[in-house]
Amino acid sequence: MKMKPLSLLFSHFLVIVLTTSYVPVDAFTRSDFPEDFLFGAATSAYQWEGAVNEDGRTPSIWDTFVHSDRPGITGNGDIASDGYHKYKEDVKLMAEMGLESFRISISWSRLIPNGRGFVNPKGILFYKNLIKELKRHGIEPQVTLYHYDHPQSLEDEYGGWVDRKIIEDFTAYADVCFREFGEDVKLWTTINEATIFATGSYGQGLGPPGRCTPNILVNCPTGNSSTEPYLVGHNVLLAHASVYKLYKLKYKSKQRGSIGFSIYALGLTPATNSKDDEIATQRAQTFLYAWLLKPLVFGDYPDEVKRTVGSRLPVFSEEELEQVKGSSDFLGLIHYTTFAVTNRYSPSTIFPMDVEGFTKDMGVYVSPIGNSTFFASEPAPWGLEDTLEYLKDSYNNPPIYILENGARLESHSILQDTKRIDYMKGYIGAVLNAIKNGSDMRSYLIWSMVDLYELLGGYSSSFGLYYVNFSDPGRKRFPRLSVSWYTGFLNGTIDVAPQDTIQLKRNFSSYSSL
């Protein structure tokens, strides 16, 4: 059995079991948030839709990845939560819950089966129907264009994101999406959690397409962990900027939407209060955030990354720099948990196999906080607050959409998910605290609306507010307790009380000073 713990760094495959409950410091209700702030839930195409061979869809790299014989893969998204057939039912459940927004992604290979050229009318129809259904129920769609799933045909043809050819194909795909859906969709995210996509899928081989230097622990068939994460990060930025430009020139004046970039936003805190660990934490921020955000906001990579990575880091031309700089209307965050940073490099249990790439370049040790383990991570809403504070101060207070935040249950069958409710209270409270301190927060989406097929853990990773019976061909949904909590919070009848404020603050600071 090859290592599984590696999973840690990935978002929805983060293995979180809650061990302590956390309630935010101040009492609050929905009405303490700005009126146009959007509360909702999230999914992605491959994890929710199923129907992988229906109506003209062709395989994406995610289909190929999970149908390979790699160790550690459990199940596949062939049927998933059957969202393709059950979308009306799900939208009805969302409306009953009072969700204000719902995040989907579009399956590129459902819309454009060969990656470029022919546009599949049935693909268009599905997304139009889904988006109309959301709008009809007053739910604002948030759409991600790319979520680990470009058409396999493009991977076969030129290696997908490792080749610049993808920029043109991705832009043409985005063009179709804006043209067909842009009348109803105002919030677009280009790439899902770009930082971890580049490092996890191309450095550690953990996500599709599963590339890394062959013969390290995960035994990728092909790849180069020391170069490809940077190459992919570079091409992702260029593709994002190209799509931003297209929208601005061709659609923005009539559709009036926004285009954002998204990153995996791991909370980072010094392991001790030593100067060394503080410096190490800044270095981790430079690699996990500034690497892609600095070019996006200010132009060009951080000097520290340039110095460390040297010739393995691609170089922007003057023209590209100009195009990348300022090419995002907002920042999308995928945030689940916080890790402690120590000023020493060792191939930690979190990145055991990335011996020559990104993690080594970063050169620090990151590990779960407190009593957290790989399978039991403690909620740390203060870690989200710190992250939001860092982003506000370092990147000119960008508008921020939390595109994913959530907690995995110890067991799929749990319906009384009180620990998840505590988790949500804590993290929603953290967002409110950030708003009060000046962060430009726009949205909070819980991952996930219903149980999904997860990148790691498959069907045993339960992030859904709704339980889905995956043994049942009908994929019946059952509400967990969190559904009624979220419903009550959103309709204003449930507030988060100021109980035990003093003890809570004390607990909060005991976490903060770990």
- Catalytic machinery residues: 193, 404
By CB under 6 A, name the one of 275, 438, 497, 505 that touches ligand NAG: 438
Q: Which two tokens stand for residue 80?
A: 């998933």
Interface region with ligand NAG, contact rule CB under 6 A, candidates 193-201, 239-247, 284-292, 466-474? 466-474
- Considering only residues 1 to 20 of the shown chain, the ones binding ligand NAG according to CB under 6 A are 20
**Is residue 183 near ligand NAG by the rule CB under 6 A?**
no
By CB under 6 A, name the one of 43, 189, 226, 482 that touches ligand NAG: 226
By CB under 6 A, name the one of 503, 509, 512, 513 that touches ligand NAG: 503
**Is residue 507 near ligand NAG by the rule CB under 6 A?**
yes
By CB under 6 A, name the one of 437, 509, 512, 513 that touches ligand NAG: 437
> What is the pattern of x (binds ligand NAG, CB under 6 A) and - over residues 384-413?
-----x---x--------------------
- Considering only residues 206 to 225 of the shown chain, the ones binding ligand NAG according to CB under 6 A are 213, 224
**Is residue 443 near ligand NAG by the rule CB under 6 A?**
no
Total length of the chain: 514
Cβ-contact 184, 132 below 8 angstroms = yes
Taking the complex as a whole, how short is the minimal distance between the CB of residue 350 and ligand NAG, in angstroms? 20
Which residues, other chains included, contact 221 with Cβ-Cβ below 8 Å and sequence gap of 6+? 210, 214
**Is residue 370 near ligand NAG by the rule CB under 6 A?**
yes
Between CA 511 and CA 426 the distance in angstroms is: 13
SS3 of residue 189 by DSSP? strand
- Which strands make up the sheet holding 365-368, listed edge to edge? 267-270, 338-342, 365-368
**Is residue 26 near ligand NAG by the rule CB under 6 A?**
no
Start-to-end Cα distance in the chain? 34
Between CA 468 and CA 75 the distance in angstroms is: 15
Q: How many CB atoms lie within 10 A of CB 155?
A: 23
- Among 497, 380, 513, 386, residue whose Cα is nearest residue 437: 386
Residues facing 105 on adjacent strands: 144
Between CA 321 and CA 66 the distance in angstroms is: 36
Taking the complex as a whole, how short is the minimal distance between the CB of residue 94 and ligand NAG, in angstroms? 14
Q: Which is nearer to ligand NAG, 414 or 494 (CB)?
A: 494
**Is residue 460 near ligand NAG by the rule CB under 6 A?**
no
Cβ-contact 159, 235 below 8 angstroms = no
Q: How many CB atoms lie within 10 A of CB 197?
A: 26
Give the interface with ligand NAG as residue ranges (CB under 6 A). 20-21, 213, 224, 226-227, 370-371, 389, 393, 437-438, 469, 471-472, 484, 487-488, 491, 493-494, 500, 503-504, 507
